[in-house]
């Protein structure tokens, strides 16, 4: 099993911690409230029917199983007192040997404060410290300017554009951003 990034990070104005089973309801509430923004970019959020507590509970169960086998760590981004879900960010093995991928979303009301940029910076550095990891990828729809701004701001390089109708649901083209050196 590969060691994953730590369980908790303190962002000062937010808390980043591993997702837990009792997060499902709050995740569903936050995602449903942000549906109009999320539905353009996130495959799992293209319909309100997908954003139920039951669906989120299944997602969390899968997440815990993946984490058990060292394949991914999903984090809940929460208010500092750990009462409200502001979004989510995860580190995933799914991009092949030597690499981890970071994916993220924010709830309405949590954007524009640098939360995801700062969380992604912490997780990039933590991922690069994991055994056998030499690069971190962020993939996003070519049309998703706000998402692309995150890796750009963090000094990732644009490594390629690939046709992908499955995940790039707006443009059909996926930007692949890569970072192989720590940010801090
Ligand atoms: C992608 C997404 C998470 C980006 O949200 P965001 O609010 O733009 O990102 P951040 O939290 O990093 O905030 C960046 C903003 O905060 C500002 N900011 C303030 N303090 C900052 C700090 N300390 N560090 C970095 N940025 C800071 C930045 O200048 C930027 O402002 P701008 O929007 O005026 O350019 C959000 O748009 C989203 O949830 N989209 C839908 C889901 C999605 O697309 N996910 C990605 C799929 S690939």
- 122: in domain: yes
Distance 69 CA to ligand 1 centre (A): 31
Q: Are strands 135-141 and 173-179 parallel, antiparallel or unpaired?
A: antiparallel
How far apart are the CA of 162 and the centre of ligand 1, in A? Answer: 23
Q: What is the rounded radius of gyration, in angstroms, for the C-alpha atoms of the chain?
A: 15
Ligand 1, atom nearest to 106 Cα: 39
Q: Is this structure's pTM higher than 0.85? A: yes
- Give domain status of residue 1, yes or no: no
Q: Is residue 116 part of a domain?
A: yes
In a domain, 184, yes or no: no
Q: What is the 3-state secondary structure (H, E, C) of 37-94?
A: HHCCCCHHHCCHHHCCHHHHHHHHHHHHHHHHCCCEEEEEEECCCCCCEEEEEEEECC
Average pLDDT for residues 105-118, to the nearest whole number? 98
- Substitution site in 85, 117, 167 for ligand 1 pocket (most atoms within 8 Å of beta carbon): 117
Ligand 1 atom nearest 37 alpha carbon: 41
117 alpha carbon – ligand 1 mean position (Å): 6
Q: Looking at the domain assignment, is residue 174 inside a domain?
A: yes
Domain range holding 160?
A: 8-179
Q: Which burial class, exposed, middle or buried, applies to 167 when counting CB atoms under 10 A from its CB (0-12, 13-18, 19+)? A: middle
171 found inside a domain: yes
Number of domains composing the chain: 1
Q: Is residue 2 part of a domain?
A: no
Higher-pLDDT residue of 182, 2:
182
- Cα–Cα dist 178/156, whole Å: 5
At 159, which CATH number?
Answer: 3.40.630.30
Give the tens place of pLDDT for each residue, 47-98: 999 999 999 999 999 999 999 999 999 999 999 999 999 999 999 998 988 9
Quote the pLDDT of residue 3: 83
* Strand-strand pairing, 99-106 and 135-141: parallel
Residue 45 in any domain: the answer is: yes
């Amino acid at each position: 099993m590969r060691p994953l990034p730590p369980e908790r990070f303190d962002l000062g104005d937010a808390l980043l911690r591993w997702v837990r089973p009792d997060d499902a309801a709050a995740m569903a509430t936050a995602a449903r409230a942000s549906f109009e923004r999320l539905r353009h970019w996130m495959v799992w959020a293209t319909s309100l029917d997908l954003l139920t507590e039951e669906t989120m509970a299944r997602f969390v169960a899968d997440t815990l199983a993946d984490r058990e086998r060292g394949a991914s760590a999903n984090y809940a981004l929460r208010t500092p007192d750990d009462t409200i879900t502001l979004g989510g960010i995860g580190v995933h093995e799914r991009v092949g040997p030597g690499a981890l991928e970071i994916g993220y979303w924010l709830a309405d009301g949590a954007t524009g404060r640098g939360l995801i940029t700062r969380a992604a910076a912490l997780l990039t550095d933590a991922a690069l410290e994991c055994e056998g990891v030499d690069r971190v990828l962020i993939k996003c729809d070519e049309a998703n300017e706000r998402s692309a701004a995150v890796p750009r701001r963090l000094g990732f390089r644009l490594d390629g554009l690939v046709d992908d109708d499955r995940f790039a649901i707006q443009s059909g083209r996926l930007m692949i951003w890569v970072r192989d050196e720590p940010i801090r």
